Amino acid sequence: MTALTDEQLERYSRHLILRGVGVRGQKRLLASSVLIIGAGGLGSPAALYLAAAGVGRIGVVDGDVVDPSNLQRQIIHATADVGRPKAESAAASIRALNPDVEVETHDGPVDAGDIADLIARYDLVIDATDNFAAKFLINDACVLAGKPFVHAGVVGFAGQVMTVVPGEGPCYRCVFRDMPAAGEVPTCREAGVLGAVVGVIGSLEATEALKLIIGVGEPLVARMLTVDALTMNVRRVPLPTRVPDCPVCGETPTITTLDPDRYIQPACAI
């Protein structure tokens, strides 16, 4: 990669003097690509911080339009964006923040038929969905492709984050074996969610992604970080490093293809 421009030297100056990042780490960021699935509460801070950090190419996937009820937590969108496709609105905010970033939009939900081709074009994936079908689909597609991804979930005042690097630790399905039945677990639409908590968890997703790209620190592989904002209790929960009977990454996997019927469930955007 060519030398950083004068504008980049100024824009990323706090990275350049940061031990563990420096010029080499910044060049890695500028050469990297991240796919963010979901441009809602989690995807908003994740996209903005990845863009601010100088991730060279960001893909944004979302099939919804901006609704007034989103604005309490989905900070990448503004009141003037109500009715606008979320992927388009998010892309505009990213471009306004950092012209270094190339933004690609995918206006529609991911499904079993297109996710493999989509994730193949990026270095890693951010799961910013609030839909168990999407979460299991993202996990299975990434594991089958050997693609790292960062998972997060939020409801009420609590959230969780974990990083999956296939072959180096457990996957989402190792921890949450089967998809809950519809209605078994309340969604944010049913239980509510504190907007600032979603911002914290989405920012942690961005932090994990940046660490993976730069190659610094200890990612949350084989660990899950849980945050209870009511008590400010933050725990790093150890996970099994290997689950031999996992149906997608175990010794004798039973999930070897992405069957569309496996991932049918009503969607809910954070």
Handedness of CA 109, 201, 135, 170 (dihedral sign): positive
Cβ atoms 109, 63 nearer than 8 A: yes
Instruction: Please give the DSSP secondary-structure letter assigned to residue 153.
Output: E
State how far the Cα of 65 lies from the Cα of 53, in Å rounded to an integer. 26
Q: Which of 174, 188, 246, 249 is catalytic?
A: 188
Question: Strand 149-155 and strand 223-228: pairing?
Answer: unpaired
3-state secondary structure of 33: strand
**Which residues on adjacent β-strands are paired with residue 158?**
155, 228
Cβ atoms 15, 44 nearer than 8 A: no
Verify whether residue 188 is a known catalytic residue: yes
Strand order in the sheet with 149-155: 102-106, 57-61, 33-37, 124-127, 149-155, 158-164, 223-228, 233-238
Catalytic residues: 188
